Amino acid sequence: MAATTLSLSFPERDIAVLTLDDPESSANVLSRHVLDVLEQHLNALDQHRDLAGLVICSAKPGMFIAGADLKEFAASLDAPKEEVAGYSRRGQQLFGRLARANYVTVAAIDGTCVGGGAELAVWCDRRILTKSDKTAYGFPEVKLGLFPGWGGTARTPRMVGLSNAVELVTGGESIDATAASLMGLANDIIAASNAPTDALVEAAIRMIRAERASDDYRRDRELWAFPLDISDTELGFLGATASAYIQQQTKGHYPAPLAALELMLGAASVDLETACQMESEGFAQLFGSPINRALLNVFFLNDRNKKATPALANEKPRKITSAAVVGAGVMGQGIAAANVKRNIPVTLMDTDQTAVARGVQGVLNEVAYNKQLKAPDVKRAVELAPLINGTLSDVELSRTDIIIEAIIEKRDVKQRLFTRVEPLTGDQTILCSNTSTIPITQLASGLDHPERFCGLHFFNPVRQMPLVEVIRGRKTNDATIATAAAYARGLGKSPIVMNDGPGFLVNRLLLPYMNEAALLLCEGANLADIEKAAKSFGMPMGPFTLYDVVGLDVAIHAGRTMAEAFPERVVPAPIVEVLFKRGRIGQKAGRGFFDYAPSKGGKPPRGVDSPEAMQLIKECQTGGPHKFPKDELTDRLFLPMLVEATRVLEDKIVPNVRDVDLGLILGIGFPPFRGGLFFWADQVGPAKILEKLQKYAPLGKRFEPTSLITNLAAANGHFYD
C-alpha cells in the first residue's frame, strides 16, 4: 500500500513529484500510515542535494486530499490530552519540513482540498489550483467541533491576513479557486482539463523555476515565521466583530469557532513556532469533547448514507436518464429543478396551462439563479431551458424513466392519477408519490404493477432540504427501491430507505413533538417559554413557529392520519383546531400562532405576538397559566419523540438507529451538536430516560416506555449498541 498511496517520481532530473492515490478509496485521506510514508519520502529527498523543487499532487481527478482519517480520530477520542497534543505537533513538524526544505515546494490541487489537506498545502511555498467546479479549498474542522491542528490556524493568517484566516477557519466553508486566488491562497490558477494532474505538474515546474530564479519563496518563509503586523486597535475591532457574528451564527451551541478565534487573536503577536504550540494545546482541549463526539457521529451518519443500503447492496440500480413531475406547484417545481441542475431532462405536467407556464418559469428562475447577481442569469436560463418541458398531456410522460407525483395530498385524487398514467409507462418505468403521510401500499392498491411503485418524499424547500424518504410499499421490489435511492443520490440528496407506515419516519416523529408543545400550551405553559426551551435545546425554530411555517391546515391533516393509526397515544390539542377554524393557518395566511407582516426582499416573514391568538390560547387553557421548569418543558417536548422513535424501530420502519438520527437531523433540523436523537439519548442514558418517562406516566401512553427502552435500561446498554 505504501508504494501506491504516495508514490515518488522524477519527471525532470531536479524535480520530484509526490503523487497521492489511495487504491482502496475514492478519496485521499491523511492517515497515520500516509504520514509515515510522507516522512520516509521527505527523508529520502533530503539526500538529493541538487533538488530544485517538489510538487505534491493527486492522481484522482477532482480529489486532492479530503483531510485526516476520521476513523482514526474516532478511535482516539478517549486518548490522553498529552497524546492528542503530540499527534497535533507531529503533523505540524512533518508539514513544517515543506517550509524549511532546500527546495521549492508546490501543492498542485485539483478538486477537494480540505482539512488536513488544506493544512499540508499551506505549509507548501506555493499553491496552484484548477479552475474547476470540483475545486474546493477549506478548513471544515469547526463542523466537527474542532479547529485545524496541523498548523492551519498558525500558518494561514501569516499568508493571507488574519481577517481572511478567521473567516476561513471559524466559518468552516470551502472557497473556489477564484476566491482562493483573490485571498492569496492560490498563487496560480489553470484551466480545468481532461488530464488535470499533467497540466498541474507542468505549471508547478514552471513555477519552481521562476521561484528559484527570484528567491521570493525564501523571503516569504522568513516573513511568515514572524508575528503578524497588526495593531492592537485592529486586533480588538476584528475580535469584537467576529465574536458577535460567530455568536449570532452558532447561538452559543458550538464552542470550536470561538475557540479558534481566540486562538488566532492570541497567536497574532507571537512567532510561528509558538503559535503552533498554542494550536496543539487548544486542539487537544476540544478533541474528545461531547460536541466533538456528536459531530463526528453526524459525519459518519452522512458518510454511511452515501453508500447503498446494506439490504440492497447486491441490487444494481437502473440509470435514470429522464424524469417527469406531475404537479407544477412549489414542490413540483423544486423536484423538477433538482433534475435540471443535474442535467436530467424533466417533463413538468399540470392540468392548467397557466400553472404549467408558472411552474416552468419557477424552475428556470431557480436553476439559473446567480448568487453574485442575486437574480436569475438570463444566459444560463437559456442554456438550461431545453431540459425542462412543460405539458398538459399525459402522453408526454410515457417517454421518461421515472414519474414523480406531487399533487394535492388526497388519496383518491392521487390514485385516479396513477390509474390514468400507469398504462402509458414503459416496462421499467418507476412510478412514485411525493406524499408525506398517505401509506404507499394504499396508493398502490389499484395498480397493475405495484412492484414498480414507491414513495419518494422530498422535503420543502427542495433546494435546501437534503433528505428524501424512499418508501417501500408491501409489493415494491428491490430493483425499484435501489433505483429510486440511487436516483435521489444522483440529485445530490440523502435518501433513507424505509418500510411503509403512517407518517413514514420524519413526520411520524415530528408530530409527537409538535403536538406535545400544543398540549403544554393548553395546560397553561407560556408560549414564549416553550419556544425558548426548544431553541435552547438546539432546534432551528420553536414548535409554534414551525406550526406556522408548515401550516396549521397541513398539521391538522397529518395529525388526523396519526390519530387514526395510533389513537391510544395521540391526544389532539384543542388550540390547533381553534386557530384553524379562525383562519389562522400560519405564515401563508399572515396569521397563525403569531401575526406576520408581508415579507420584504425575499426574506421569510417574522412573527410577532398576536393579541387574538393569545386570547384564544387563554380560552383553551384548562387551569390558567402555569410556570413549567425549563427541564420539564424539554422533557415533555423530546421524550414523546424518542418513545415514538423506538416504536419505529420495533415496527421495522427502519432497521437502524442511525437512519432515525440522520433523518431527523436532515429532515427537521434536530441539532447536529446533539449527534442525533438516539445519540443524545445515549448521552443521557437509557436508565435515566426510563426514570424520566416513569415521572410522566400519568400523562398517558405517549410516555409509556417501550421494550427497547426498558431492556436497555436493565442491561445498562446503549441505543447505538
Asked if residue 476 lies in contact with residue 442, where contact means CB atoms within 8 angstroms, the answer is: no
- CA contacts within 13 A on the Cβ side of 323: 29
**Catalytic: 457?**
yes
How many C-beta neighbours within 10 Å does residue 477 have?
Answer: 17
- DSSP letter at 385? G
> Pairing mode, if any, of strands 188-191 and 323-326?
unpaired
List the grid coordinates of 686.
Answer: 437509557
Cβ-Cβ contacts under 8 Å for 461 (sequence gap 6 or more): 330, 334
Rg of the chain on CA atoms, in Å: 28
Please choose, from the candidates 199, 119, 102, 107, the residue with its C-alpha nearest in 3D space to the C-alpha of residue 156: 119
Beta strands 467-472 and 453-458, pairing class = antiparallel
C-alpha cell at 2: 505504501
CB 470 within 8 A of CB 484: yes
C-alpha cell at 712: 436497555
CA atoms within 13 A on the CB side of 100: 12
Can you tell me the distance from the alpha carbon of 589 to that of 111, in angstroms, rounded to the nearest whole number?
Answer: 46
Please, are residues 627 and 526 in contact by the beta-carbon 8 Å criterion?
Answer: yes
Which of 466, 475, 400, 405 shows the shortest CA–CA distance to 434?
A: 405
Tell me how far apart the alpha carbons of residues 316 and 318 are, in angstroms, rounded to a whole number.
Answer: 7
Q: How far is CA 23 from CA 112, 113, 274, 307, in A?
A: 17, 18, 38, 18
Q: How many CB atoms lie within 10 A of CB 178?
A: 13
d(CA 152, CA 165): 9
Which residue in 449, 457, 557, 718 is the catalytic one? Answer: 457
Active site residues: 457
